[in-house]
Chains A and B, each alone.
Chain A
Amino acid sequence: MSEESVLRCVLMLCCALLSANASNWLYLAKLSSVGSIRDEETCERLRGLIQRQVQICKRSVEVMDAVRRGAQLAIDECQFQFRNRRWNCSTLESMPVFGKVVTQGTREAAFVYAISAASVAFAVTRACSSGELEKCGCDHNVHGVSPEGYHWSGCSDNIAYGVAFSQSFVDVRERSKGQSSSRALMNLHNNEAGRKAILSHMRVECKCHGVSGSCEVKTCWKAMPPFRKVGNVIKEKFDGATEVEQRKVGTTKILVPRNSQFKPHTDEDLVYLDPSPDFCDHDPRTPGMLGTVGRQCNRTSKAIDGCELMCCGRGFQTQEVEVVDRCSCKFHWCCYVKCKQCRKMVEVHTCR
Chain B
Amino acid sequence: MAGAIIENMSTKKLVIVGVALLLCQAFTFMVGGLIAPSPTTAVPYLATKCVDTIKHRQESKWFMPWGPNQCHKIRSFDEATAKMIEANNIVFAVHIPLPNKEMSSWFQFMLVILQFDIAFKMYNQIEDGAMVTIDVGLAYRDDTISEWTEMAHSFEQRKLSCNFTTAKTYENEGRYYECDLMPFMEVGSVSHKYYLLNMRLPVNERKKVNVGIGEIKDIRLVSIHQNGGFTQVWFAMKTFLTPSILIIMIWYWRRITLMSRPPVLLEKVILALGISMTFINIPVEWFSISFNWTWMLLFGDIRQGIFYSMLLSFWIIFCGEHLMETQFFEALVLGRGELKMCVSCVPAIQIFPERPTNKSQDQTERNRFSVYWKQVGPIVFGSFCLFIFDMCERGVQLTNPFYSIWASDVGTELAMAFIIVAGICACLYFLFLCFMVFQVFRNISGKRTSLPAMSKARRLHYEGLIFRFKFLMLVTLICAAMTVIFFIISQVNEGHWHWGEHTVQVNSAFFTGIYGMWNLYVFAIMFLYAPSHKRYGDEQSSGQCITGDAGANSGEDIQLTTTITHVDGPTEIYKMTGKEAQE
Contacts and interface: CB of A to CB of B under 8 A. Distances in A.
A117 B98 CA distance: 25
Contacts of A217: 39-40, 511
Interface string A120-156: 0000001011111110101000000010101111110
Given A129-B220, A138-B101, A215-B491, A333 B215 contact: yes
A129 B44 contact: yes
Contacts of A148: 37, 229
Interface residues of B, number: 75
B111 A136 contact: no
A211 B121 CA distance: 40
Given A153-B38, A220-B42, A336 B86 contact: yes
A207 B113 contact: yes
A130 B48 contact: yes
B216 interface: yes
A148 B123 CA distance: 51
A151 B106 contact: yes
B485 to A, nearest CB: 15
Given A212-B389, A228-B175, A333-B87, A152 B65 contact: no
A128 B305 CA distance: 40
- Is chain B's binding surface mostly helix, strand, loop or mixed? mixed
Contact of A136 (B98, B124, B174): B98
A226 interface: yes
Contacts of B443: none
B491 A158 contact: no
Interface in B33-63: 37-48
A132 B229 contact: no
Interface residues of A, number: 48
B65 A130 contact: yes
A220 to B, nearest CB: 7
Contacts of B40: 217, 219
Interface string B95-108: 10111110010100
Contacts of A13: none
A80 B390 CA distance: 49
Given A136-B98, A153-B38, A217-B40, A130 B227 contact: no
Nearest to A129: B46
A187 B176 CA distance: 30
A130 B93 CA distance: 9
Interface string B159-177: 0000000000000001110
Contacts of A126: 46
Contacts of B42: 207, 219-221
A151 B124 CA distance: 44
Contacts of B32: none
B81 interface: yes
A68 B290 CA distance: 45
Nearest to A330: B205
Given A131-B66, A218-B490, A332-B203, A150 B101 contact: yes
Interface string B376-406: 0000000000100110011000000000000
A158 B44 contact: yes
Contacts of B242: none
